[in-house]
Chain A
Amino acid sequence: MDGLFGLDGATWDIILAVITALIKAFVIVNGLLLAFAYMTLTERKVLGRMQARFGPNRVGPFGLLQPIADGIKLAFKEDITPRQANFWVHTVAPMMALIPALIIFAVIPLGPEMRILGQPWTWYVAKINVGYLYATAIASVGVYGLVLAGWASNSKYALLGGLRASAQVISYELAQGLAAMTALVLAGSLNLYEIVNQQVASGLPYALYLPFGLVAFVIYVIAGVAESNRSPFDMAEAEGELGAGFHTEYSGFKWSMFFMAEYVNMINISALATVLFLGGWWPIPTDAPGFIQGLGPIVFLIKIGAFMFMFIWLRATFPRLRFDRLMSLGWKVLLPIALVNLLLTSAVVALWPLGVWPFAQ
C-alpha cells in the first residue's frame, strides 16, 4: 500500500491498527450487550427450571425473542427524574456504571495470537503490561455509578442502597485483589496474555496449583459474586428493606443501563477468573497449528459460560446474607485467608525455581 494518497507504509500501518482496534471494540461492546440480553433470558429460564416452572416461552420459539421485546419495552418507557433529584448527577450515574464495565474487556485475551490468511491476528484489543491492574482500576471506577445514583436520587432507599453497594464493593475488592495477586505471583507478570501463556505452557491452570491456587480461586470467585452485587450478596437491592436499592428512582433506559452494567460486570469477572485461574484457552496450546488455535476463543467462551451458569445457580440456591454478616465474611474471613495464602505462595515461588510447583501431582 506504499505511496497511496501520499502516505508512507508506516503511517498506513498505524491507520490500519487504529481501524482494526475500532472494529474489535465495536464487536466487543455489541457482543457484550447481546450476551447481556440473552443472559437475562437464560437466567429466567434456568431459574424457572430450578423452581419447577418453565420461564419465558411465549415470545418467539422457546421464548428466544423475549430479550428483544424487553429491550423495546424498556427503550420506550418514560424516563422519570424525580423533581428533588440532582438532574446532572442523576443522569451521569448510570453512564459511570456502564462505561467502565464495557471497556474492561479490551485487555481480555480471548485466544492465542495467530495468523489468519497469512496476516497476524490477535484476540484482544490491547495487550498492555499492566493488564490486570487496568482491569481492577477501571472496575473500581464503576463504584461511582452506584454511589452517585444513591446520592443524586435524593431518596433514603436509594442513598442507603448506594452506600451498602459501594461499601460492599470496596470491601470485597481487597480480598479479590489479594486472591488475584496469588495468580500474578505465580505468573510473575501483570500482562493477562502472559499469565494465560504461562499456564498453558506449564499445562496446569493456576486453580490446580494445589493447595494455594485453589484457595485463591475460591476466594476470587466468592469476592467476584459479591463484587457484582449478585445474590446471595445482593444486599444493595434487598427488596424487603430498601425497595430496589440504589436504582429505586430510576426508570426506562437509565435503569436498564444499571441492569446492563451488572450483567456485563458478571461477564468481566468470569473472564478475569478464567484468565487468572483457569488458564484462558488451556488446554489448547498457544503455538498449535492455525485451525486448532482457532478453538482457543471457543474454549474461553465455554469457561465464561460455565461461570455465568454458576452465578444463576447460586442465585437459585442461597438465601441472602445479612449485611453485617456479609461485611464480617469479607473482612474477617476472606481477607486474612487470602493474605496468608498469598504469603505462602510467595514463599514457595521464592524458594523453588520459577515455573516449578513442588506440590503438583
Chain B
Amino acid sequence: MEFVVFAVFAAISVTAALFMVLQRNAMYSALFLVLNFFCFAVFFILLGAYFLAVVQVAVYAGAIMVLMLFVIMLLNVAYPEPLDKVLGFLRPFGVVTAVMFAAVLAGVGFGSKMGENASIPPRIADPTSGAGIMLKGVGAAEAGHVQEVAATLFSRYLFPFEVTSVLLLVAILGASVLVRKRTEHA
C-alpha cells in the first residue's frame, strides 16, 4: 500500500520536475514546481513526518511560490526570450554545473552512510534500511512531532538555524536598499 502510493507520487513528482525544467512558459514552470512540492508533502506523510509535510505545503507551495507567481505576473516574463539567445557564452558553464550537480547527486545516492549524513537527523534515518525510503517505527513517527523538530532545531542545529535567519535578513536589507527612493538625488 505504502509502496504503491510512493510509486505513483514519485512518478508524478519526477514528471512535474521534468516539465518544470522543459517548459518555455515561466508560469507553467512555476505551476509544475507547485505540483512537485505537493508530491514532496506526500512523501513526508509517508515517512510519518506530518509536521514537515504541512510546513512544506504552507511555506513552499503557499508562500514562496505565490511570490514567484507575483514576480512572473508583475514583470510579465511568462514568455521570455528564446534560450539560445540568452545563454550564449554561458553554455559551457552550464554543462560544468550540470556535471558537478550530477556528481553530488551520485555521491549522495551511492554514499554508504546515508543514515549518518549531517542533513538527516539520526532519529529519522532508520539504520536498518539503507535506502531511507520506507521508514517506519518509533523514530520516524516521532520525528514528525513538532516538539521533536523544535528541540533539534533549537539545540543541535541552533547555529545553522541562526546563520540562515541572518542570511535572510541580509537579503531583505539588500532588497530594501535597492528599491529605496533616493529623494536627495532626484
CB within 8 Å of B: which residues of A? 86, 89, 128-130, 133-134, 136-141, 143-144, 147-148, 150-151, 159, 162-163, 166-167, 170, 190
Contacts and interface: CB of A to CB of B under 8 A. Distances in A.
Interface string B70-84: 100110001000000
A150 B69 CA distance: 11
26 contacts: A129-B145, A130-B50, A130-B146, A133-B51, A133-B55, A133-B58, A134-B54, A137-B55, A139-B62, A140-B58, A140-B62, A141-B57, A141-B61, A144-B66, A144-B69, A147-B66, A147-B73, A148-B31, A150-B73, A151-B69, A162-B73, A163-B70, A166-B66, A166-B70, A170-B66, A170-B67
Interface in B85-120: none
Contacts of A163: 70, 73-74
Interface in B29-58: 31, 34, 50-51, 54-55, 57-58
Nearest to B62: A140
A129 B146 contact: yes
Contact of B50 (A129, A144, A148, A150): A129
Given A129-B146, A144-B66, A190-B146, A151 B58 contact: no
Nearest to A86: B27
B30 to A, nearest CB: 10
Contacts of A133: 51, 54-55, 58
A100 to B, nearest CB: 10
A137 B62 contact: yes
Interface SS of A by simple majority: helix
Given A130-B54, A133-B55, A89 B66 contact: no
Contacts, number: 63
User: Which 9 interchain pairs have the tightest Cβ spacing?
Assistant: A140-B62, A137-B58, A137-B57, A133-B54, A137-B54, A130-B54, A147-B69, A130-B50, A130-B51
Given A137-B58, A140-B61, A140-B66, 6 more contacts: A140-B57, A144-B66, A144-B69, A148-B31, A163-B73, A170-B63
Interface residues of B, number: 21
Interface of B: 27, 31, 34, 50-51, 54-55, 57-58, 61-63, 66-67, 69-70, 73-74, 78, 145-146
A86 B73 CA distance: 14
Contacts of B145: 129
B57 A147 contact: no
Contacts of B31: 89, 148
A312 to B, nearest CB: 28
Given A133-B51, A147-B70, A89 B146 contact: no
A133 B150 CA distance: 15
A138 B50 contact: no
Contacts of B34: 144
Contacts of B55: 133, 137
Contacts of A141: 57, 61-62
Contacts of B51: 130, 133
B38 to A, nearest CB: 9
Nearest to B45: A128
A196 to B, nearest CB: 18
B58 A136 contact: yes
Nearest to B73: A151
Nearest to A166: B66
B27 A151 contact: yes
A159 B50 CA distance: 35
A93 to B, nearest CB: 11
Nearest to B54: A133
A35 B4 CA distance: 37
Contact of B63 (A130, A140, A159): A140
A89 B73 CA distance: 14
B70 to A, nearest CB: 7
A166 B74 CA distance: 13
